[in-house]
């Protein structure tokens, strides 16, 4: 819709509401496009203490080494959700 048409429609708000709706209904062409709904933003994962924020493989290290998981449990108050909160014993004596 061109700028000239919008300038012409600018003055219809002084008219009664029924007439304004009628003018808008005839002046604006509907678009038959798919609606693009906004996406939810993913929350950033907080990297636990022994790791730095730019470490790429910190999750793989936590999943594979029980000693590192125990260290993360001791050093941090909040533990990532994929780690249990109880300490692990890797080797039984």
Residue 5 tokens, joined:
């048409």
Give φ, ψ of 8 to 5 degrees: -65, -35
CA dist., res. 34 & res. 4, Å (int):
27
Residue 78 tokens, joined:
């909040």
CA dist., res. 37 & res. 84, Å (int):
36
- Tell me the pLDDT tens digit for each residue of 3-38: 777 777 777 778 888 888 888 888 777 777 888 888
Q: pTM (2 decimals)?
A: 0.53
- Domains of the chain, residue spans: 1-29, 47-93
CA dist., res. 77 & res. 85, Å (int):
10
pLDDT at residue 80 is higher than 90: no
- Tell me the pLDDT tens digit for each residue of 37-56: 889 888 888 899 999 989 99
**pLDDT band at 90; cut points 50, 70, 90:** confident
Contact predicate 72/79, CB 8 Å: yes
pLDDT at residue 1 is higher than 70: no
């Amino acid at each position: 819709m061109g700028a000239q048409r919008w300038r012409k429609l600018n003055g219809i708000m002084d008219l009664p509401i029924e007439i304004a709706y009628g003018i808008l209904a005839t002046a604006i062409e509907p678009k038959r496009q798919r609606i693009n709904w906004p996406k939810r933003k993913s929350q950033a994962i907080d990297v636990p203490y022994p790791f730095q924020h730019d470490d790429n493989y910190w999750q793989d290290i936590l999943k594979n080494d029980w000693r590192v998981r125990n260290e993360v449990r001791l050093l941090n108050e909040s533990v990532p959700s994929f780690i249990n909160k109880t300490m692990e014993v890797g080797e039984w004596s």
